[in-house]
Amino acid sequence: MAISKSTALFNAAKALIPGGVNSPVRACGSVGGQPIFIERGDKSRLYDVDGNAYIDYVLSWGPLILGHRPPEVIKALEHVLGIGTSFGAPTALETQLAQLVVDRVPSVDMIRMVNSGTEATMSAVRLARGYTGRDIIIKFDGCYHGHADTLLVAAGSGVATLGIPGSPGIPDAVISNTYSLPYNDIKGFEKLMAQKGDRVAGVIVEPIAGNMGMVCPKEGFLESLRKMTTQHGSVLIFDEVMTGFRVSKGSAQGYFKITPDLSCFGKVIGGGLPVGAYGGRKEIMDQIAPVGSVYQAGTLSGNPLAMAAGIATLTTLQDDTVYAELDRKTDRLVKGLQAAADDAGIAFKTCHVGSMAGFFFTDREVYNFEDAKTCDLDRFSRFYQGMLARGVYLAPSQFEACFVSSAHTDTDIDTTIEAAVSVMAAL
């Protein structure tokens, strides 16, 4: 596989952009490679600048649930391009997207649009603190809630990939009210709530973790978060930036039937354009300015291009058969990968909920970040490189999830499984 043009572009980028990338995991450092520079995307495929084609399971890290350039989204974007790209004043599009979310997610009475998942979680945490008049935030190790200071403690995604505990540049005072516990640790959580619950503003969690690889909640974990936060008057925040409208039409909260107080969205809700959002009970959302006094604002928030892409995406996802098909294809993929590993005698664990999937090179069940860290990272790197060479584009880290889009065909899945059979045989 020739990648000389990518290499040249990467070298040029490194001189001007730290690490040559605008988000760390893209540098592909942990798998001993370099980024592939993309020329274009179409349906399930990415095409790089050297003319190589790949079946894409990263999908811009989750947003592209309909694949690259879905006609519905392109048409909506073309319409908005004809009327203007940003007004900094309200449009009907914002209310339309809000309505689509509120109709599907019963815990959300009202929603505020922002520009990224990071902004959504940062603002939800501020709101939880403003609403309760308390300071403490509880999160879970290996969950990633974007890069806001308060939440960058024992975080997943790039922080996990780089193997760093947190980040310099965040004063201790800023994180002194952030507690991080192991994911799925019901006992530890209940103990901390018993001690500090009356000072806890909010508990934030990925209802299905997808930033330490994919880790599902154990039965009773989310239930315990709901029960204890209600008991202590703390705000339960589901960070559904990855899972929202991805794992099911009602998001993870609909799938598990747990009602949080606030929810954060991003990725799918923006249909491939930069969007985040946070929403929840009216009584809490009414604390946000200009109705209430918790301040949060944004020059480009509710941007018409982004709203139009989100509306087109969620409207296409209205049809339940889309989710059923996504689930069926993802199940086939995951079973095929598992069989390939089993045949090759390789320790491998997989899981998926809808079109969000994960796999670990380990023989133990993965319930938390400590478990995830026991994986064979060398083997992951070799698998990643082998798959890439065979035209399959996976996230370049063991600590990320994998996504399937409605544009992936059964042939794509078969081709991927065949590639896995040959790569696994040589691992």
Q: Which is nearer to ligand PLP, 52 or 115 (CB)?
A: 115
Q: Which is nearer to ligand PLP, 141 or 206 (CB)?
A: 206
Cβ at position 244, least distance to ligand PLP in Å: 9
Instruction: Name the residues that contact ligand PLP, by CB under 6 A.
Output: 116-118, 121, 144-146, 206, 210-211, 239, 241-242, 266, 276
Closest CA relative to residue 284, chosen from 104, 130, 113, 106: 130
Q: Which is nearer to ligand PLP, 20 or 210 (CB)?
A: 210
Q: Which is nearer to ligand PLP, 215 or 366 (CB)?
A: 215
Calpha distance 180→118 (Å, rounded): 18
| Helix/strand/coil (H/E/C) assignment for every residue in the chain | CCCHHHHHHHHHHHHHCHHHCCCHHHHCHHHCCCCCCEEEEEECEEEECCCCEEEECCHHHCCCCCCECCHHHHHHHHHHHCCCCCCCCCCHHHHHHHHHHHHHCCCCCEEEEECCHHHHHHHHHHHHHHHHCCCEEEEECCCCCCCCHHHCCCCCCHHHHCCCCCCCCCCHHHHCCEEEECCCCHHHHHHHHHHHHHHEEEEEECCCECCCCCECCCCCHHHHHHHHHHHHCCEEEEECCCCCCCCCCCHHHHHHCCCCCEEEECHHHHCCCCCEEEEECHHHHCCECCCCCECCCCCCCCCHHHHHHHHHHHHHCCCHHHHHHHHHHHHHHHHHHHHHHHHCCCCCEEEEECCEEEEECCCCCCCCHHHHCCCCHHHHHHHHHHHHHCCEECCCCCCCCEECCCCCCHHHHHHHHHHHHHHHHCC
Cβ at position 264, least distance to ligand PLP in Å: 7
Cβ at position 64, least distance to ligand PLP in Å: 13
Cβ at position 12, least distance to ligand PLP in Å: 25
- Chain-centre distance for alpha carbon 382: 24
Q: Which is nearer to ligand PLP, 144 or 367 (CB)?
A: 144
Does 144 qualify as catalytic in the annotation?
Answer: yes
Residue 148: burial class (beta carbons within 10 Å; 0-12, 13-18, 19+)? middle
Cβ at position 144, least distance to ligand PLP in Å: 5
Contact yes or no for 243/269 (Cβ under 8 A): no
Calpha distance 333→328 (Å, rounded): 9
Q: Which is nearer to ligand PLP, 306 or 407 (CB)?
A: 306
The one catalytic residue in 54, 57, 131, 144 is 144
Cβ at position 53, least distance to ligand PLP in Å: 26
Does 349 qualify as catalytic in the annotation?
Answer: no
Name 393's bridge partners: 56
Cβ at position 343, least distance to ligand PLP in Å: 32
Q: Which is nearer to ligand PLP, 156 or 304 (CB)?
A: 156
Q: Identify the residue whose tokens are 């592209």.
A: 64
Does 141 qualify as catalytic in the annotation?
Answer: no
Q: Which is nearer to ligand PLP, 45 or 267 (CB)?
A: 267
Cβ at position 58, least distance to ligand PLP in Å: 12
Taking residue 79's Cβ as centre, other Cβ atoms within 10 Å add up to 13
Cβ at position 332, least distance to ligand PLP in Å: 24
Q: Which is nearer to ligand PLP, 270 or 336 (CB)?
A: 270
The one catalytic residue in 56, 141, 185, 239 is 239
The one catalytic residue in 267, 323, 371, 393 is 267
Residue at shortest CB range from ligand PLP: 117
> What's the full length of the chain, in residues?
427
Which residues are tagged catalytic? Answer: 144, 239, 267
